A and B are shown apart, each in its own frame.
Chain A
Amino acid sequence: MKLRHSLFTRRQFLNGLLGGWLGAFAVSFLYPVLKFIFPPTREPDEVILPFADFQDMEPNTVKNFAWGNKPGILKRNNDGSYTAFVGVCTHLDCNVTYLPDQRKFYCACHEGWYDENGIHMAGPPPRPLRRLNLSIEGENLIIKREGVE
């Protein structure tokens, strides 16, 4: 039945109302489900390590530290400075290893190679290893995500 000035029939109106209600009902259930499924895991903004553990590193060696759930790699360069990397291959997320005699980082999963500065040089990796900012304050080594103040 349709009233003379109405845009739609009574059936269309009721179907729309019911459908809209069902849709809203479904969304109100889906939203919490989706929120629940994806847990809030964020990378740390910074990690503070005792500098004493890393002070005596020989040049061209690395030490691992925990960067959240990922391995971080602290490398001592030849000039005595330090560089921090996220030790995860930029191809498909495998953990990399440093080969001091070849001065290269290596990922065993699909044979990806990076030079000693973490620049990708052979195999499938599309990007350099991620770098982390590093500062020494007193007795602490402070490692920060790039872009975090």
Chain B
Amino acid sequence: MKEKKVKKDIRSWLDERSGLSVVFHFLREKKIPQHKHSLWYYTGSAILLFFGIQVITGFMLVFYYNPTLEEANSSVARIMTEIPLGWIIRSVHSWSASFMIAFVFIHLLSIWITKAYRKPRELTWMSGVFLLVLSLLFGFTGYLLPWDDLSLSATKVGTDIPRSIPVVGAWVTQFLRGGEDVTGDTLTRFFGFHVCILPIFLFALLAVHVYLVQKQGMSLPLDLESKEEKVNELPFWPNFVYREMIVWLVLIGVLFTVSIFFPASLEKAADLMAPAPEGIKPEWYFLFLFQMLKIFPSKILFMNGDTLVVLLILLGGIAFFFLPLIDNKPTERKGKIITVIAYLFIIYAVGMSVWSLL
């Protein structure tokens, strides 16, 4: 009895000063609609799960990693061979990155196809596109840090791509590389991006994104929204959270299984003067871009092939960012065409990626 009173006193003391009871009240009242597309509601928290794992394993790796030309590769080798359980930590970090990006794609495609970005959720989508870009930048900068042959070539190509952007391209390349060429400075700079600059932006945008999702509530599929009858709902707390936890446990199980049976590899240290190794490949989420750069001829009309690829990607990205404003009549013919484009885009990206592996 007395214990209960102490708890209540602490709670009211905190609430008087923080006003947090508003948040708890909101979460207790929050409802999740139940329908045939409800499964997609779980993808957002799956991304959060993998991001959380990235943060924790990232903190751990920083304890031993050394972001310099001389030490980077050997410090990763030390993590893999000498530090107790270091190989698991690094494998989990590497695999969890892939899982996170995979779920970012699933999350995004589900929203694209169910058109959940339609009014009033345009800003949620736009903040999400920024989060996608940040996730890809995390992957790109992290890929260099082991400083082996593969990661060096991937970084040389990746940082040279922006050079084709009109006007600012050369500056972007120099900014990313910390000079004209990829050197030890690039490595140190990428480490700074990866562990300091990108996380700050990601946390800030994530806060905006999650706030907007709470503010708008869960989106309903188009066909349900127009119906009169009431949709079944599930309380967010505790019913939905418990279900999410089941999903999390399964995902953690899969993550650790692949991390242990297919641990992250480490090639020999990169040599700035050595030729690019045979069969270089970027991470799987850049394969479609890699294949485009490979198959575009050196000259198309009056442009370099790679300039055209970069301009296409840039224009595609801008259209993608403004998609909710372009797709402003989701139930009409235009909206249906945009859904078909979504499926074509998936087929194209998967097709190009598979082709690059052949």
Assess the A124–B297 pair: CB atoms within 8 A: yes
Q: How far is the CA of A10 from the CA of B187 in the complex (A)?
A: 53
Instruction: Please give the distance in Å from A91's CB to the nearest CB on chain B.
Output: 6
Residues of A within 8 A of B290 (CB): 110
Q: From residue 33 to 67 of chain B, which have CB atoms closer than 8 A to chain A?
A: none
Given A94-B276, A97-B275, A108-B279, A124:B183 Cβ within 8 A: no
Q: How far is the CA of A64 from the CA of B171 in the complex (A)?
A: 29
Tell yes or no: B175 within 8 A of A by CB.
Answer: yes
Q: From residue 281 to 321 of chain B, which have CB atoms closer than 8 A to chain A?
A: 290, 293-294, 296-299, 304-306
Tell yes or no: B84 within 8 A of A by CB.
Answer: no
Assess the A69–B298 pair: CB atoms within 8 A: no
Assess the B293–A93 pair: CB atoms within 8 A: no
Assess the A91–B298 pair: CB atoms within 8 A: yes
Instruction: Please give the distance in Å from B302's CB to the nearest CB on chain A.
Output: 12
Of A37, A41, A95, A125, the contact of B276 (CB 8 Å cutoff):
A95
Residue of B nearest to A64 (CB): B273
Assess the B156–A39 pair: CB atoms within 8 A: no
Residues of B within 8 A of A68 (CB): 180-181
Tell yes or no: A101 within 8 A of B by CB.
Answer: no
Assess the A111–B294 pair: CB atoms within 8 A: yes
Instruction: Please give the distance in Å from A128's CB to the nearest CB on chain B.
Output: 11
Q: How far is the CA of A37 from the CA of B276 in the complex (A)?
A: 28
Q: How far is the CA of A43 from the CA of B304 in the complex (A)?
A: 24
Residues of B within 8 A of A42 (CB): 180
Given A68-B181, A69-B181, A124-B306, A110:B294 Cβ within 8 A: yes
Q: How far is the CA of A68 from the CA of B305 in the complex (A)?
A: 28
Assess the B294–A124 pair: CB atoms within 8 A: yes
Assess the A126–B156 pair: CB atoms within 8 A: no
Q: How far is the CA of A94 from the CA of B156 in the complex (A)?
A: 6
Residues of A within 8 A of B298 (CB): 91, 120, 123-126
Of B161, B277, B305, the contact of A124 (CB 8 Å cutoff):
B305
Tell yes or no: A109 within 8 A of B by CB.
Answer: yes
The number of chain A residues touching the other chain, given as a range, is 20 to 34
Residues of B within 8 A of A43 (CB): 180
Residues of B within 8 A of A93 (CB): 156-157, 159-160, 182
Assess the B278–A109 pair: CB atoms within 8 A: no
Residue-by-residue, is B263-278 near A (CB-CB < 8 Å gives 1, otherwise 0)? 0000000001111111
Tell yes or no: A70 within 8 A of B by CB.
Answer: yes
Tell yes or no: B19 within 8 A of A by CB.
Answer: no
Assess the B153–A69 pair: CB atoms within 8 A: no
Instruction: Please give the distance in Å from A141's CB to the nearest CB on chain B.
Output: 17
Assess the B294–A41 pair: CB atoms within 8 A: no
Assess the A41–B293 pair: CB atoms within 8 A: no
Tell yes or no: B174 within 8 A of A by CB.
Answer: yes
Residue of B nearest to A111 (CB): B294
Residues of A within 8 A of B185 (CB): 39
Assess the A126–B273 pair: CB atoms within 8 A: no
Tell yes or no: A17 within 8 A of B by CB.
Answer: no
Assess the A92–B181 pair: CB atoms within 8 A: no
Residues of B within 8 A of A110 (CB): 157, 290, 293-294
Of A41, A89, A97, A123, the contact of B180 (CB 8 Å cutoff):
A41
Residues of A within 8 A of B276 (CB): 89, 94-97, 107-109
Of B156, B179, B272, the contact of A41 (CB 8 Å cutoff):
B179
Residues of B within 8 A of A118 (CB): none
Q: From residue 158 to 179 of chain B, which have CB atoms closer than 8 A to chain A?
A: 159-161, 171, 174-175, 178-179
A residues sitting closer than 8 Å to B (CB atoms) are: 37-39, 41-43, 64, 66, 68-71, 87, 89, 91-97, 107-111, 120, 123-126
Q: A42-B180, A68-B180, A92-B293 are in contact. List 11 more A-B contacts (CB 8 A).
A: A37-B175, A41-B181, A68-B181, A69-B180, A70-B272, A93-B157, A94-B153, A94-B275, A95-B156, A124-B297, A126-B299
